[in-house]
Amino acid sequence: MDRITIVICNYNYERYLATAIDSALQQDYAATHVIVIDDGSTDGSRAIIEGYGDRIQSVFKSNGGQVSAYNHAVEIVDAEFAIFLDSDDLLYPSAASEVMQVFGTGDWAKVQFRLDVMDSAGNTTGAYVPNSSAPRNCDTLLRGGWLYPSPPASGNAYRVSALKQVFPIPEAIADRYGADFYAIYGTALVGPVADIPKSLGGYRVHNTKSSNVSFANSEQINKAPKAFTMRWQILRTTAASRLQIDLPEAFYDFSHEKALFCSGVYHAPVATRWRWMMRDSHDYLHTIVANPFWSLKKKVGTLVLSCLCLVPYSPLSDFVVRYINNPLARRRAVEQ
């Protein structure tokens, strides 16, 4: 039986850490090994980790950021397959067995699965990520600059030999996080990606109010998109030096562009909204019209909704922004 390692990278998440570790230990796949890497936590995380004794492999390191933790994990994992579970997320009991079943069907570099969106208390919200499946030609699309639909870190299982072709990633002071970006898109340049169209875990979002507009778990909507741009450039450099693959200078991703769209028009006067749409919306509109992952119906619907942001009535415009940006606002609107 092939072994799989669940790696939990933790920093100051003592509130959620035990839930993540328990979910990893409760996998119904017998050959599952659990490693917890604590990245210099200053809360009570160490005591929680030590409480599991030899049921897990514990690694305590000085704080270096998520990229540093991933680099260390890829170096020490001795199994051929791994899931990187964020310490505030969880896996359902069959996650490891189901991804291993898929790995057995081909030479997959990555197997991804959906995650149910949870609130900070662990209650499911009815939403899940991602909302689109990864196509079989992820590699070709990435070479054209398109970031394919992928779940966050915890929804991905990797062939470790593929990760080793991408990692270690330079531990830049300017961006110590976003290690899952390099794993998700870097491995897709190494080999094919498989998609399991069901939820095998939970993704904790700490801002789950339908009135929020945010980029993933980022409090600052402008911060994460800028980090994405930096990460793409690092991925380009890595792909060129290690894989001899030339990626384009620009990338296309609707999640990235809708964050910029929201920052440009949310709570803005009507003149500002019109000015943004006339001058700054080219990339946003391109990720809708030319999106290779969307149906025509979804493209038309998103374009129509986006145009509603131009109406003079601000409450409608702001509602549309929340509806486009926040899946929870979308779901609750349907329920009402």
76 shares a domain with 207: yes
pLDDT tens, per residue, the chain with 336 residues: 999 999 999 999 999 999 999 999 999 999 999 999 999 999 999 999 999 999 999 999 999 999 999 999 999 999 999 999 999 999 999 999 999 999 999 999 999 999 999 998 999 988 899 988 888 899 999 999 999 999 999 999 999 999 999 999 988 665 688 899 999 999 999 999 999 999 999 999 886 554 454 544 444 555 667 788 899 999 999 999 999 999 999 999 998 899 889 889 999 999 999 999 999 999 999 999 999 999 999 999 999 999 999 999 999 999 998 888 876 655 544 444
Q: How many CB atoms lie within 10 A of CB 195?
A: 23
261 shares a domain with 194: no
In a domain, 234, yes or no: no
144 shares a domain with 269: no
* H or E element that contains 297: helix 296-307
In a domain, 263, yes or no: yes
Angle at alpha carbon of residue 67, lines to 292 and 82, rounded to 5°: 70
145 shares a domain with 22: yes
201 shares a domain with 258: no
183 shares a domain with 290: no
User: Can you list the positions of beta strands (E) in 87-240?
Assistant: 90-91, 110-118, 124-129, 156-159, 193-204
169 shares a domain with 91: yes
In a domain, 294, yes or no: yes
Residue-range definition of the domain harbouring residue 76: 4-212
Backbone angles phi, psi at 90, to 5 degrees: -150, 160
- Three-state SS string over 204-255 comes to ECCCCCCCCCCECCECCCCHHHHHHHHHHHHHHHHHHHHHCCCCCCCCECHH
265 shares a domain with 195: no
Q: Of the candidates 188, 212, 236, which is a domain's last residue?
A: 212
In the prediction, which pLDDT does 331 show?
A: 56
Q: Which of 180, 185, 176, 187 is nearest to 203 (CA)?
A: 180
In a domain, 227, yes or no: no
In the prediction, which pLDDT does 110 show?
A: 98
295 shares a domain with 149: no
147 shares a domain with 89: yes
Please tell me the distance from the alpha carbon of residue 316 to that of residue 324, in angstroms, as a whole number: 12
Q: How many CB atoms lie within 10 A of CB 140?
A: 12
Please tell me the distance from the alpha carbon of residue 15 to that of residue 7, in angstroms, as a whole number: 18
Q: Residue 94 to residues 105, 151, 194, 320: CA-CA distances in angstroms?
A: 17, 17, 17, 38
When divided into structural domains, the chain yields a total of: 2
Please tell me the distance from the alpha carbon of residue 208 to that of residue 122, in angstroms, as a whole number: 11
How is residue 212 written in tokens? Answer: 């929020």
Q: Is 147 exposed, middle or buried (0-12, 13-18, 19+ CB in 10 A)?
A: buried
36 close to 8: Cβ distance less than 8 angstroms: yes
In the prediction, which pLDDT does 334 show?
A: 42
182 shares a domain with 41: yes
Q: Which of 110, 170, 134 is nearest to 292 (CA)?
A: 134
Q: Of the candidates 212, 246, 275, which is a domain's last residue?
A: 212
172 shares a domain with 32: yes
Q: Residue 18 is part of a domain; what is its CATH number?
A: 3.90.550.10
pTM: 0.90
How is residue 152 written in tokens? Answer: 């966050």
User: Which residues contact residue 163 at a Cβ distance below 8 angstroms, ignoring those fewer than 6 apart?
Assistant: 74, 82, 183, 186, 187
In a domain, 248, yes or no: no
In a domain, 21, yes or no: yes
Terminal alpha carbon distance of the chain: 49
- Is the dihedral angle over the CA atoms 63, 69, 73, 75 positive or is it negative? negative
Q: Of the candidates 181, 212, 243, which is a domain's last residue?
A: 212
Q: Residue 30 to residues 4, 38, 92: CA-CA distances in angstroms?
A: 9, 25, 15
In a domain, 20, yes or no: yes
Please tell me the distance from the alpha carbon of residue 24 to that of residue 32, in angstroms, as a whole number: 8
In a domain, 226, yes or no: no
